[in-house]
Structure formats: structure tokens, C-alpha cells
Structure 1
Amino acid sequence: MIEMKNLRKDFPVRVKAGRFRREKRVLTAVDGVSLSIAAGEMVGYIGPNGAGKSTTLKMLTGVLAPSAGEVSVCGLSPVAQRTRLALRIGVVFGQRSQLWWDLPLRESFRLLKHVYRVPAAEHETRLRRCRELLDLDAFMETPVRQLSLGQRMRGELTAALLHGPEVLFLDEPTIGLDVVSKQAVRSFLGELGRGGDVTLVLTTHDLADIERLCKRLVVIDHGRVVHDGTIEDLHSRYGSRRRLVADLDSPLPPGFALPGAVLSTVEADGHRVTFTLESIAAGAAVAALVNAASVRDLSVIEPDIEDVVARLYRCSITSTAQDGSSAS
């Protein structure tokens, strides 16, 4: 559904090179990205600010022309066939609106039906589904300018889907939303993804969105892909581990060891211990600990993806700095 081969985007910039002089330099925002995304996939595309996420999306949607490389979406060239592509993709940018500011939400949807030339029956079926899943009825007659951010975002998602796109690009769809609105948007996107009818590419700084929605995670940094795989692969590659936290009736015996785990912390005079699980399954670790000590309570804590991604970024920065030193 989406194919990128050595995709590159350069921007000419002028920088100060003296008191009265500026010189032209080239800033590379996307640096040789190659990816294939199959129909029905839900892919998280993440990275720090300035990594090249939004630039990639703009090239995929035909807003920007690549400086080099090849790109196709739905079998079309995004820039050369932008009008045809617009009928087959949906786009939601968290900071921009495709709704008419002064019109009631219902009228925006009605106008979009004519813009995309959607048959009335299809339009009504899709709108009914979105109204049910996103709970739109309470504000369908409200002008867009009077909607809360969460209500407007639900309207934006609906607007992007009314023409039945094959690919949906989402750029920060939950930015600034309250907890209830985030949950509504995530549930809707999860339901959409389980249907398998839409390929979804999601960029976000909210990693909880990625964990709940996407099986595949692509991490970009300094314009280059530094990880492409599952979240589990990411945890494994960058040393993330589950933790077993146990509250004990009495401290562990001196010299106690749990094979395949490391005793990370001991608190409350030895009555609370935390093990980092290195090469042992959580179930086996729990069984071994229960057999060796009197356990009052215990919990298995999943690794925090934000810590893992931060570790990945640090590794990427170190590698880039080393490459620069070698080059010089």
C-alpha cells in the first residue's frame, strides 16, 4: 500500500557566516528512508522533534516533493497524481482543521460528501458508524468554532473517513486532548484497525497511543530509520526488562538469588524487593519466589516504552556523534 525507497528531502537554508554575510546550506530532514507498509497495517511512526516525521507524511500525501528516492501510495505517485490520491487517502493533522469553522458539524460533513463525490447511501452509512463509535450526536448541530478540542478531533476523524479512504495518515491526533477524549479516539481507531479495511500510519509523541494501537513501530531520528519492528523487539534490543515487585512478611534469607533475575532494590527493611527479570519468564519467577519466601503481595511491572525510546534516541545520538568524529 505504501512504498518508500531511499526517500530523501533536503531544504536549503541560509545561516549567519559573519557580521554581514549569510551562506546557503542544505538541511536534510529525511535521509534515505526505505519502508514498505502492507494493506491493513497499523504502523506507529515516531521520533523526537525535528526527526523528519511530519516531512515524511507530507511527501506521502503529495504536499512536498522528494529531493531524491521513490515513493508510491496506493500505487500512485503522491505529487504527480495528487488529485487522484486525495480521493483514496484520509489525513488528520492535530493542529489543522479540514472542517468549516462557522458551520455546524453536520454541514461540514454534508459539504465533504459533495467535495469527494460520495454517493448518498455510502455517506450516510459511514457517518452513522462514526456517530455511534465517536458519540457525535450531542454536538452535530454545533458550529465547529464552538466545539471543544476533543469534540473537534472526533469531527476531524469522521471527516477524514467519510469518503472511504484506503490509507489514513494521523499526525498527533490526540495532542492536547483530555483523558476521556483520548480514550474515545483510541477506541475508535482500534475498532477501525481491527476491521482491516484501512491502512493506518500514526505519528505521535504520546507513546500510549502506539502501545494500544500499533503492532509495528518505526522510529526515525535525524531523518533515518533507527528501528523497524514490534514494540517487543524494541524492548529486547535496548535492554528493557519486566520487574517483579514483592511485599514480604519477612526479609529474604542472606545470599538469596533468583536464577535469571537481578535483585534491583530492597526497601522497607527488606520487606519489599524488586527483581529485574533478565532471562526468566514472569510466571517462573513468581513461582520460585513464592516457594522461597512468605509473600504478602506481588506485581509484575511491564517495561515503560518511553524509557526504551529515550534509550534508543541516546544510542542514536552517540552513534551519529561517533560517525561525525570518524568523518572529520
Structure 2
Amino acid sequence: MSETVIRTRALRKDFDIRVRAGRLRRERRTVNAVAGVDLTVERGEMIGYIGPNGAGKSTTLKMLTGVLTPSSGDVRVCGLVPVDQRTRLSLRIGVVFGQRSQLWWDLPLRDSFDLLRHVYRVPPGEHAARLRRCRDLLDLDAFLDTPVRQLSLGQRMRGELTAALLHGPEVLFLDEPTIGLDVVSKQAVREFLSELGRVGDTTLVLTTHDLADIQRLCRRLVVIDHGRVVHDGTIEQLHARYGSRRTVVVDLDEPLAEPPEVPGAPVLQTEADGRRIVYSLESATAGDLLRRLAGLGTLRDIAIVEPDIEDVVAALYRAPDGAPVGG
């Protein structure tokens, strides 16, 4: 039976700023950072929460974790009001923000983990079991005794993930966990988070500009723009909403006088002197197309190309009020 761990209703955050209104005069102006976000997250979900710079995603996370007080609306995380019950909430969530660290800069990584056990009052047996799992999955042993200040960015991020999980949080908030990492470290972090998601004990909320993270880790995608949610659903639903289609690239031994017509799969273009045909899969399936082309006798190769999520999300940002492109 599902259990709601995050619920917001009409969540809003306004900031008052002073702007120049003349050579010597300034006036107060209200900026709406989050404009009525409704969000429900069930236990064990992995959701990607994305948006352009200034869209309101970081402000939302700060309200969910109790760092900022909402201007209006309702928010509950693990059944608690984040600001009013922040101390109790901190024992039930984990946070990895790029600008904040839970590690002690001058201490070896191992000592930071031990101090966190005392901060969160974790029983020694539970702490040892969780640390052992993180050591195995994140390959920590090689630098456990290295002072944090001497760790590479990738090593430190693996340490931050471990620190956020040692007290067994129900929800893990991640802000750009792979930014700036090399390929090897990025892959290690993704595999670890994927394994965490498969176990299903921890709910993950991931904000990132690296959409490859979203594709590999998150079934559900929430897109926020100008403080409002403009998409909440699967990546496949996002593609369908914005008209992006899979394409099929067909290579031929010899060019044809006319590209074969396939119902539901219009021809996008022909290339290489007619030896390559690119179809768009609308209502037709790749199987339909393959069956139609199989009898041509000149078929050399066929490749299915998935739509690029970055292009779709960029189109979403450009659309007024999140309206579908062309709609």
C-alpha cells in the first residue's frame, strides 16, 4: 500500500527586493519564486525535479527541508511541517546540496562518519551496516583515512552521499549530485543511486541540469518554470505531449526511385543520394516499418533513434506557460 511522504498544496514563496527607481531612490518589489506548487510523492519514488535557472526548484527544496518558510500554502514531509518541526524532520531526511557539506574539512573521512553517528544518535550496529554497504557500493576504502580537504570532487561527493544516508533517512534530497564529476565518478554515483532506488526504502528527489541523470534514474519527471509545475509525469508522457517522436534510419544498398510509404510513419528526409531514408514513428511501430521494408531486397541496416530529452525540455521552457509546442 502506497504511503505519501511529500505533499504540497498551493505552495508559494515570495521575496521582497529593493530595486533602483531613480538616481537616489529605491523601491520595494515582490518577486514570486514559487507560485502555487502542488506535489505528491509516494514512498520509494525517484523523481527528477528540474527547471531552468531561476525557475524555483532550489527554493522549493529549501521549503521542503525547512530552510525557508513558505509565504503561503501547505507542506508536509514525512507527516511533519518542515519549518515548525525541523529538528524532528532532520532525523528522517538526508540532504546533499552542492554548496553545503556535512563533512569536517580537516578530519579523515572515517572520522566524519563516526561523528555523524553521534550527531544522529545511530546505534553502532546500524551505523556499521550502512557504512559497510556504502563502502562496497561507492568504493570508499581507498580514501577513508584521507582528510576531506585532500579528496577529489568525485571522492568528496561519494563521501557526502554516504554521510546523508548513515542515519537511514526516509527521503533523500539531491541537488546536482554529479555536477563537475569525471566520467568514472559520475557512473559510480549513478549506479549507487540506481541501486538505492531498486531497494525502494528511500524516496529520492533529484534536481539536476544533467538530463542524463534523469533518464538513467527517474521514472517520474516534474518540470518547474517561473515557479509553476508545467509537467508532472513520465519522460514518455513528456515526449508525447510535445510531439517528439522516435525516428528510424534506414540504409539501403541501392537508392529507390521513391521512398516507400508507410502509414503512420512519414518520411522526414532522404540522405546519401537516396541510400538513407529517415522515418518518423507517429502511429506506426518500428515493427510495422520493418515489415513494410523487409521485402525491398536492398535493405542494408535499420536503426531506431530515441528522441533527445534535452531538445524536448528546451522546447518546454520556450513554450508560453508550458503550453505544448505548436498548440
Q: TM-score range by the shorter chain?
A: over 0.9
Q: Please, which of 80, 105, 110 is the counterpart of residue 106 of structure 1?
A: 110
Runs of 4+ in 1 over 3 A off after TM superposition: 316-319
CA distance in 1 between partners of 2:156 and 2:322 (Å):
41
Classify 1:167/1:273 alpha carbon distance in 2 versus 1 (closer, same or farther; 3 Å).
same
Q: Please, which of 75, 78, 82 is the counterpart of residue 74 of structure 1?
A: 78
* Counterpart contact for 2:14–2:71, Cα < 8 Å: yes
CA shift at 1:147, angstroms? 0.6
Q: Which residue pairs with 2:239 in the alignment?
A: 235
Taking the TM superposition and a 5 Å limit, the aligned residue runs for 1:58-137 are 58-137=62-141
CA distance in 2 between partners of 1:104 and 1:190 (Å):
27
What do residues 205-253 of structure 1 show as CA deviations (whole Å, max 9, x unaligned)?
0011111111111000000000000000000000010010111111133
CA shift at 1:305, angstroms? 0.5
Q: Secondary structure at the match of 2:22?
A: coil
CA shift at 1:318, angstroms? 7.7
1:308 maps to amino acid: V
More displaced 10-residue stretch of structure 1: 191-200 or 15-24: 15-24
Q: Which residue pairs with 2:208 in the alignment?
A: 204
Classify 1:293/1:238 alpha carbon distance in 2 versus 1 (closer, same or farther; 3 Å).
farther
Establish whether residue 224 from structure 1 lines up as the match of residue 240 from structure 2.
no
CA distance in 2 between partners of 1:81 and 1:238 (Å):
40
Q: Please, which of 186, 190, 196 is the counterpart of residue 192 of structure 1?
A: 196
* Counterpart contact for 2:11–2:72, Cα < 8 Å: yes
* Counterpart contact for 1:221–1:316, Cα < 8 Å: no
* Counterpart contact for 1:45–1:218, Cα < 8 Å: yes
Q: Which residue pairs with 1:19 in the alignment?
A: 23
* Counterpart contact for 1:41–1:196, Cα < 8 Å: yes
Q: Please, which of 132, 141, 149 is the counterpart of residue 145 of structure 2?
A: 141
CA distance in 1 between partners of 2:264 and 2:293 (Å):
12
CA distance in 2 between partners of 1:194 and 1:255 (Å):
45
Taking the TM superposition and a 5 Å limit, the aligned residue runs for 1:295-306 are 295-306=299-310
2:277 maps to amino acid: V
Classify 1:266/1:114 alpha carbon distance in 2 versus 1 (closer, same or farther; 3 Å).
same
What do residues 165-214 of structure 1 show as CA deviations (whole Å, max 9, x unaligned)?
00000011011111111110010000001111001100000011111111
CA distance in 1 between partners of 2:314 and 2:132 (Å):
41
Q: Which residue pairs with 2:39 in the alignment?
A: 35
Q: Please, which of 172, 175, 178 is the counterpart of residue 174 of structure 1?
A: 178
What do residues 110-130 of structure 1 show as CA deviations (whole Å, max 9, x unaligned)?
000000000000000000000
Taking the TM superposition and a 5 Å limit, the aligned residue runs for 1:246-257 are 246-254=250-258, 256-257=260-261
CA distance in 1 between partners of 2:185 and 2:92 (Å):
27
Unaligned 5+ runs, structure 2: none
CA distance in 1 between partners of 2:138 and 2:259 (Å):
56
Establish whether residue 261 from structure 1 lines up as the match of residue 278 from structure 2.
no
What do residues 114-173 of structure 1 show as CA deviations (whole Å, max 9, x unaligned)?
000000000000000000000000110111111111110000000000000000000110
Establish whether residue 277 from structure 1 lines up as the match of residue 281 from structure 2.
yes
CA distance in 1 between partners of 2:167 and 2:38 (Å):
29
2:6 maps to amino acid: I
CA distance in 2 between partners of 1:150 and 1:105 (Å):
13
CA shift at 1:95, angstroms? 3.0
2:115 maps to amino acid: L
Establish whether residue 156 from structure 1 lines up as the match of residue 136 from structure 2.
no
CA distance in 2 between partners of 1:6 and 1:248 (Å):
55
CA distance in 2 between partners of 1:12 and 1:123 (Å):
43
Number of residues paired by the alignment? 319
Unaligned 5+ runs, structure 1: 320-328
Classify 1:293/1:317 alpha carbon distance in 2 versus 1 (closer, same or farther; 3 Å).
farther
Classify 1:17/1:27 alpha carbon distance in 2 versus 1 (closer, same or farther; 3 Å).
same
What do residues 77-102 of structure 1 show as CA deviations (whole Å, max 9, x unaligned)?
00000000000000001232111011
Tell me the TM-score normalized by structure 1.
Answer: 0.95
